[in-house]
Amino acid sequence: MFVEANPREVLQGDARINHQKSKALAEKILGVVTEETDRLPLDLAIWPGEEIACAASFPGLDVVCSRQLAQPQPSRLTETVSRLADGRDAYGVFMHSAEDWTAFAVWSDRQLVRALSVSPGAGIIEEVGERLPFETPFWSGERPLHHAKNYPLPFHPLELGNEALKTFFGFILEGHEDDSCFDPEDVDIPVFRAVRNV
């Protein structure tokens, strides 16, 4: 997400999507002409298929979901994010449940402020910048896995990823919601598919 406004307030409010800007955003990510084919609730839009981007441009907030952005080292996205953010702050959260992999990153003033990528198989893949307050309980052992002995990390990466989603955006995909969360099923995101010449 590229933000000027509070994502929670925008996504829970009645802000309208600018479809022209949304299409342009999808095309910048995919690098090809696209056509809008559908709309998906945010919880399903986060992991679109190949050559698909889910994108929504709201006043003060751009949301984009694409597998092309799911990099093991989020720092490698800095040039792309700086170009797309156009001076705004940017937040990214990436998760893959089959690998128990989570990564997230924060950019401000075109600079990477914080990036983390972890999985049980690879351990810490990347760590840049100071740890953020929401991470503390995970690294200090306050959020251990009780059902998996000898797990190679002091926490489950997907739990950390959901905490990042809640902190940055105001929703989670798995786990227990609290009063600060909104339901991502209530937010529809346009789906854009790459158009290929026949």
Residue 198 has pLDDT above 60, yes or no: no
**In this predicted structure, which of 13-17, 90-94, 169-173, 175-179 has the lowest mean pLDDT?**
175-179
Residue 152 has pLDDT above 80, yes or no: yes
User: What proportion of the chain, given as a percentage, has pLDDT over 70?
Assistant: 99
User: What proportion of the chain, given as a percentage, has pLDDT over 90?
Assistant: 78
* pLDDT at position 197: 66
* pLDDT at position 29: 94
Give the predicted TM-score (pTM) of the model: 0.92
Domain ranges of the chain: 2-194
* pLDDT at position 98: 87
Share the mean pLDDT of the chain.
92
**Strand-strand pairing, 101-108 and 111-119:** antiparallel
Integer angstrom CA distances of residue 128 from 104, 105, 131, 160, 161: 11, 9, 9, 16, 16
Residue 106 has pLDDT above 70, yes or no: yes
Residue 146 has pLDDT above 80, yes or no: no
**Cα separation, 17 vs 128, whole angstroms:** 33
For residue 177, the number of C-alpha atoms closer than 13 Å in the C-beta half-sphere is 11
